[in-house]
Structure 1
Amino acid sequence: MNKKMVVRGIPQVGENAVAEHTFSLIFAITKQLIPSNQNIRDGRWREGIAPNVELRGKSLGIIGYGKIGKVVALIGKSLGMNVLTASNRSSSKAGQLSMEEVLQQSDIVTIHASTTNNLEPIINKKHFEMMKEGAILINTARGGLVDYDDLEKVLSSGKLRGAGLDVFPEEPNTKRKLYDLPNVVCTPHLAYYTNETISDMNLQLLDQAIDYFNNLYAMD
């Protein structure tokens, strides 16, 4: 017996939550929150702590300029940052740059793109070579968008100041040397994980279920 099955998705929610988390990772690295906290816990003061980085005047590169990217841009501009956005590979919108130009010009690069059809990373060794010395990479989008083996090498070499990662190629994440590097801050895929976002998701599920049954009974 053939049965018709209706599949519906939930429109993107949690853009504010993810954008805020993006900046929590940026602040953690630029303000050295993890090593500073550890110093205090160990009974030390500023030993081994270099001067912090001010965000005002720095260039923030956003790769993927959808709902989340737009909120990230607003926060960046409110902090006095120069916001650069990357166009997708097939088209270029007014005011946007190519991904390569964003990588070359940005002090901080944050990824908010969708996964590609071929599931290949969009950021790998050749892209890291384009980035500024001392730049920072943030990934709160998808782990598969970045070649984490190449990221480990470039972070270990000292070219990049650091990386903030909320997503991973394998989740729950498999242990990698990358996650133990002192200039890496990791969180367990919880950028979207707020009470507000979960509530929005549940409400949208209920709305879609009600809409489905309303349409079903309307056809009878």
Structure 2
Amino acid sequence: MPKVLITPRSYGMFNKDINQMWEKAGFEVIREEGPLPESKFIELIKDVDALLIGTDYLNETILDNAKHLKIIAKYGTGIDNIPKEYAEKKGIYVTNTPAVNNEAVADYAFGLMLSTARKISSSAQKLKEGQWTKTVGIELYGKSLGILGFGAIGKAVARRAIGFQMDVIVYDVFQDEKTATDYGITYTDLETVLKNSDFLSIHMPLLPETTNLLNYETMKKMKKEAILINTARGGIVNEQDLFRVLQEGIIRGAGIDVFSVEPPTSSPLLELDNAVLTPHNAAASEEAIERMTLQSTGNILEFFEQQVKKTEGGNKSVT
């Protein structure tokens, strides 16, 4: 009986029959909610055939102890927490769940824009504390929105911006001119986006070339009234530098859902009133969780079905 280790906390939350799927496929399920420390990971992964992983950090040492592991299924899109090349060298197949959370993340990015611009979360907290204090913010309607990374999520954000009559400018090394024409958006260089955006929303993968892309020098190019939104990956924004530009008033505010270290217990951003911080929550809609559960599960079950077919095919005699 193959074993699968499942670590995402929200896995199966809205899929009542998910356990039956594993049972019907003949799997033993080991459920341990992450993120897991390395020692616990090493202990659990020794005998498993499949790993269904969320935001846990998976390193080469852990994989060296995974003697039977055949597949890693990421519960989500980004695989920067998985040493993919090292895994594949060891014969471990790596999958993800692209497109399942595009709309959820796009919704959330706009939620952070609104909350930061209109100070919604801080106003709500003050009211709960007994303070009837109105706050003055800025509108999104008619403003300029810069999008860094124009993949599926960036495009979903642009669609929402159209309803707010926003002027959308985009930086991406790969340019989709048809979508640009259809949406009425403009591609330009990074510096132009930084200098001209009232709101700047990040939707890039974390790669060597995007790590610390938003640092003190680049953020100094932004408008004084600008608001920075990051629902992509924490390492794209240098958090120490973001703290500095927010503290010095170089930009108005920031809405941050992802951090270089999670949870960000020692992040200086926690000290600031002009930073709306949330716990890597953008993909956590009921609909997205249901889709991620089904697709990540399906990736593993399909992989093992194909392995069985290959084995059966290889065992057939030729007459």
Query: C-alpha displacement at 1:21, in angstroms?
Result: 0.8
- Asked if residue 120 in structure 1 is aligned to residue 120 in structure 2, the reply is no
Structure-2-length-normalised TM-score: 0.63
Contact 1:87 1:93 in 2 (8 A): no
In structure 2, the residue matched to 1:184 is: 275
What's the C-alpha RMSD, in Å, of the aligned pairs?
A: 2.2
Contact 2:240 2:268 in 1 (8 A): no
Letter in structure 1 aligned against 2:110: F
- Asked if residue 152 in structure 1 is aligned to residue 239 in structure 2, the reply is no
CA distance in 1, matches of 2:138, 2:218: 23
Q: Percent identity?
A: 37
Query: C-alpha displacement at 1:210, in angstroms?
Result: 3.8
- Asked if residue 199 in structure 1 is aligned to residue 284 in structure 2, the reply is no
Query: C-alpha displacement at 1:70, in angstroms?
Result: 0.5
Gap runs ≥5 in structure 1: none
- Asked if residue 67 in structure 1 is aligned to residue 158 in structure 2, the reply is no
Letter in structure 2 aligned against 1:72: V
Alignment of 1:1-220 (within 5 A): 5-12=91-98, 13-46=100-133, 49=135, 51-88=136-173, 94=177, 95-117=186-208, 120-219=211-310, 220=313
CA distance in 2, matches of 1:42, 1:154: 29
In structure 1, the residue matched to 2:56 is: none
Gap runs ≥5 in structure 2: 1-66, 71-89, 178-185, 314-319
Letter in structure 1 aligned against 2:190: M
Query: C-alpha displacement at 1:6, in angstroms?
Result: 4.3
Letter in structure 1 aligned against 2:261: E
Partner-residue secondary structure (3-state), 2:264: coil
Query: C-alpha displacement at 1:118, in angstroms?
Result: 5.8
CA distance in 1, matches of 2:210, 2:161: 29
Partner-residue secondary structure (3-state), 2:94: coil
CA distance in 2, matches of 1:27, 1:104: 21
Contact 2:239 2:267 in 1 (8 A): no
Contact 1:100 1:130 in 2 (8 A): yes
Query: C-alpha displacement at 1:212, in angstroms?
Result: 2.3
In structure 1, the residue matched to 2:32 is: none
Query: C-alpha displacement at 1:93, in angstroms?
Result: 5.4
Letter in structure 2 aligned against 1:57: G
Contact 1:10 1:201 in 2 (8 A): no
Larger radius of gyration: 2
CA distance in 2, matches of 1:120, 1:55: 28
Contact 2:257 2:280 in 1 (8 A): yes
Question: Quick one: structure 1 residues 119 and 29, their matched pair in 2 at CA, closer, same or farther if it must change by over 3 Å?
Answer: closer
Contact 2:97 2:296 in 1 (8 A): no
Partner-residue secondary structure (3-state), 2:298: helix
Query: C-alpha displacement at 1:45, in angstroms?
Result: 2.9
CA distance in 1, matches of 2:145, 2:225: 13
Question: Quick one: structure 1 residues 207 and 93, their matched pair in 2 at CA, closer, same or farther if it must change by over 3 Å?
Answer: closer
Query: Bigger relative contact order, structure 1 or 2, given CA contacts below 8 A and separation 6+?
Result: 1
CA distance in 1, matches of 2:133, 2:188: 40
